[in-house]
Structures are given as structure tokens and as C-alpha cells.
Structure 1
Amino acid sequence: MNPVSPESPDPRPDVLVFDVNETITDMSALGARLTDVGLDAGLLPAWFAGVLRDGIALTLAGGRASFAEVAADGLRALLARERPGQEAEPAVRHVLDALPDLPVHPDVPDGVRELHAAGVRMLTLTNGSAGTTRAVLGRAGLADLFEAHLDVEGAGGRWKPHPAAYAHALRTAGVPAGSAMLVAVHPWDVDGAARAGLRTAWLRREPVPYPSALHPPDAEAEALTDLAHRLTARRGRPGS
């Protein structure tokens, strides 16, 4: 199977806006931290999905809370169910303190460097913390290859896929929506960006189909290196 869908984004995007959690960062490393506090590492996907559900629901309802606040509440609920009687706060801190130390996916360094070498402008946009993003990418030697690291605090605390989050990235980059492309592993993020007018690329890190109810991506790749090859080949090198 061709790792990149045959449809190529045209015109070429001037700016790539990267999602962070699970798109850039490998969050599976948090499983060991869950184990440390007496939780099953297999609870990680459900916990993270709950964080996204509650944060997005708050935005829809007109509320506001940071990723750290919502993530901590989710961990407290898990501990109350799985480890009744255990003091929650030290365990919550132990898990969340690992976020800045998460590794990036193996395909990310080469993909980012290829895009940067080709003169592609790049930003990150996360529902989490821009500071955490800088720490993760700094450890990987990649932080300075991006023009900016953004979080949804700059969008009034409204989590993606709210249009305000993508508008914040567009304002920062100084480009219209049609000149930017979101790169994300989450179909709901791809759908939200598409509805906000951005072009989109879906990183399909797991062998699952794209949801038929959501707006389809303009490009699809199994790894960032695959997407980078396609985009840089069509863009050409600086000065070409």
C-alpha cells in the first residue's frame, strides 16, 4: 500500500501546523508512570481519551480549563476507582511530571529536518502546554526548527477543534487558512482544521480506517518522513 494517499495537496502549503500529543510525542512512555503508581499501563488510552473528551466538552459548553487541570482530574478518577484509599496527589504529580520528558516518535526527527531543510515553515499547536512542547522538542534537538510553539491559551483557552484554536495559529503565521496545512494523528483534529479552512494531513500511525463521518484529509501518510518526502519533492529546495 502506498503510504501517502495519491491526492497531493495543491497548492502547496506555505506553513505546516503540527499537533503535538501523539502526533509528535510518543505518549506510550506514560504507561510506565501509571504502573509506578499502581495503575495498569493499559489504562493510558482511556485516560488520554477522557482528557480530550472533557477538555473539548468544556470548550463546547463555554467553560475553560487547562490540559494539566483536566488531566489531573482524570487521573484522580482513575485512582479512586482502581486504587481506593491511595493518596492521589503524589501519584498525579508523578504521572504529569513526565510529560516534558516524553520521547518523540522515531519518524519525527528526520521528517522535521527534511521539511526545515526544504524551507517549509512549521509551527506547533497543542491543547496541552507550549512549554511542554518546547521541552520535548528541545530534548530531541528540534525545537528551534519551528517558528513558534503555540497552545490554546492564545485562543482564549478554547481547545481544538474549536475554530479559534486554528485561527490563533494562522494569525501567528500571518497566512490565510488555505495556505496552511494541519498535520495530526487525530481524525477529529483533521476534521476541525478542514472546517476552519486549512489543508490537512493525517498521520495514520495505526492500521485503522479514517472515520467516514469526518471531513477527509487532503493527504495521508503512515509516518512523517513519508509526508515530508511528498511535500518537499513537490515544493523543491530553497532557491529552486
Structure 2
Amino acid sequence: MARPTVAFLDVNDTLSDLASVEPAFVDAGLRAEDVRIWYLSVLRDGFALTVLGDAADFAELGQSQLRSMLRLADRSRDVKSADVVASGLMRSFIDAAPHLDVVPGITALAGAGLRVYTLSNGSADVARRLLGSTDAGPAITDYLAAADGGAWKPAPASYRHGLQVAGVDAPEALMVAVHPWDLEGARRVGLQTAWINRDGADYPDAFASPDHTVASFTDLGPEIDSHHS
């Protein structure tokens, strides 16, 4: 396995800390755990639309799901007021903070000689807002949206879009994510894979093991160096 020259980073949950959005959900009358329930529901619907050949829009799906959750939590809330609150919650998601290991981890990847791109099922602007003003900003070569390739990850077209933009073949690229499904999609296109396993979870048996597993983003650069030294 050759040393990668490019790293593609998943954004939502991998780079952004969903726990930082929990206070806004609680203030809106939802529960802290509803942040992850909402996020996984958006992924579910986006995956379904992708499989059916339709274009999925993360912001539209997110707004709709939040409106539904808010009205279920408060049956007296009408659609219009729920939409207003949902819009505020979407802004809080856009303003999520990065995990503490992300900025130094990205800097270390760039320091290890890799060109770094974000590759998200959401808007590229969300990733740009998350990282652009941090010390990791100068290390990002470009911010990419999977939808510009015609499909959400883990559809093959999403990774091929990243490879085309970066101008590299799949074996030269590394996909980095906390989501095993994302890594499995990348692996099947021929990319190398790195799993950020912050929680100490077991990797799903349904998928082939990733090439690299680290507990923190800051461990990834040294892991690559040791693997290819």
C-alpha cells in the first residue's frame, strides 16, 4: 500500500462536534439526544433519495426533519412557528464547534505532506465555516460537496468526484471518517481508509476493516508516518 498523497475528510460528526449543538436543541424544547436522532434521520432520508436516483439536499432534509420533531414535541406549535425555530437550529448546526482534536490533527496531516480536502454530504460552505477561521484553515486545499459529484456518500460517484478534483488515482487517496459506512464506500472505489474511533466502538463486521484506526485525529499523522516509514 503506497503512502497517500491526498486526504479526504468527512465533515459532519467527523470534524464537527454534534454535542456542541445540544444546548440549542434543549433551549428549543427538544432533548440533547435529539441532535443525533435528527442527524441520523437526515442521513437515512438522504441515503434513500440517493439510492432512488434523486438529488438529496442536506439543508432541506434537515429543516423538514426538525420541523417535524418540534411539532411532535409540542403539538400546539403550528408549521410556521416550527419552521422559524427549525431555521434557528439549522444555524446552530452550521455553527457547530470542531472536535478538540480536529484542528491539530489536520495541521499534522498537512505537515506529513498530504493535501487535505473536506468531502461532505452537506454544503461545502459548512465545512469552510467550521475550519476556515481556525489554524487548520490554511491546511485545507479545498472544500468539496459530494452532491457536486451527483450523489451522496457512500455512492461511488461522490468519491470519484473528489479524486477528479484532486487529480489523483484512488490508491493515492485516504478517506478519513468516524462513519464505517463512509469508509466502506471509499474502500470499494479503491481509496485507503482511516477510522477515527473516538468512542472505542467495535468496527461493524459487515464491512472490511479500515487500513488505519486511531482514537484521535491527532494520532492519524503519526500513524501514517509509522505505517509507511
**TM-score, normalization: structure 1?**
0.90
The answer for the alignment partner of 2:58 in structure 1 is 67
Distance 2:189 2:46 in 1: 19
Select the residue among 174, 185, 192 that pairs with 2:185.
Answer: 192
Distance 1:119 1:48 in 2: 33
The answer for the alignment partner of 2:219 in structure 1 is 226
Is residue 2:155 matched to residue 1:162?
yes
Q: Give how far 1:215 is off.
A: 2.2
The answer for the alignment partner of 1:46 in structure 2 is 37
Could you tell me which amino acid in structure 1 is paired with residue 86 of structure 2? V
The answer for the alignment partner of 2:134 in structure 1 is 140
**1:169-184 matched pairs, under 5 angstroms:** 169-184=162-177
SS in 2 for 1:41: coil
Is residue 2:85 matched to residue 1:111?
no
The answer for the alignment partner of 1:30 in structure 2 is 21
Aligned residues of 2:109 and 2:220 also touching (Cα < 8 A):
no
Deviations 1:57-90 (A, max 9, x none): 1000111231001111111121121111222111
Could you tell me which amino acid in structure 2 is paired with residue 114 of structure 1? A
Q: Give how far 1:194 is off.
A: 0.6
Distance 2:149 2:83 in 1: 29
Deviations 1:152-206 (A, max 9, x none): 23112x1100000000000011011111010000011011111111110111111
Could you tell me which amino acid in structure 2 is paired with residue 222 of structure 1? A
Deviations 1:96-130 (A, max 9, x none): 11233211111112111122122211111000110
Deviations 1:5-53 (A, max 9, x none): xxxxx31111111001111111111111111211111111111111101
The answer for the alignment partner of 2:204 in structure 1 is 211
Distance 2:225 2:114 in 1: 8
**1:211 to 1:75, Cα distance in 2 relative to 1, 3 A:** same
Q: Give how far 1:143 is off.
A: 2.1
Aligned residues of 1:16 and 1:183 also touching (Cα < 8 A):
yes
Aligned residues of 1:152 and 1:165 also touching (Cα < 8 A):
yes
Name whichever of 115-124 and 48-57 sits farther off. 115-124
Unpaired stretches in structure 2, ≥5 consecutive residues: none
**TM-score, normalization: structure 2?**
0.94
The Cα RMSD (Å) is 1.4
Q: Give how far 1:235 is off.
A: 5.6
SS in 2 for 1:17: strand
Distance 1:85 1:64 in 2: 33
SS in 1 for 2:33: helix
In the comparison of the two structures, how many residue pairs are matched?
Answer: 226
Select the residue among 120, 124, 132 that pairs with 1:126.
Answer: 120
Distance 2:51 2:228 in 1: 38
Aligned residues of 1:19 and 1:125 also touching (Cα < 8 A):
yes
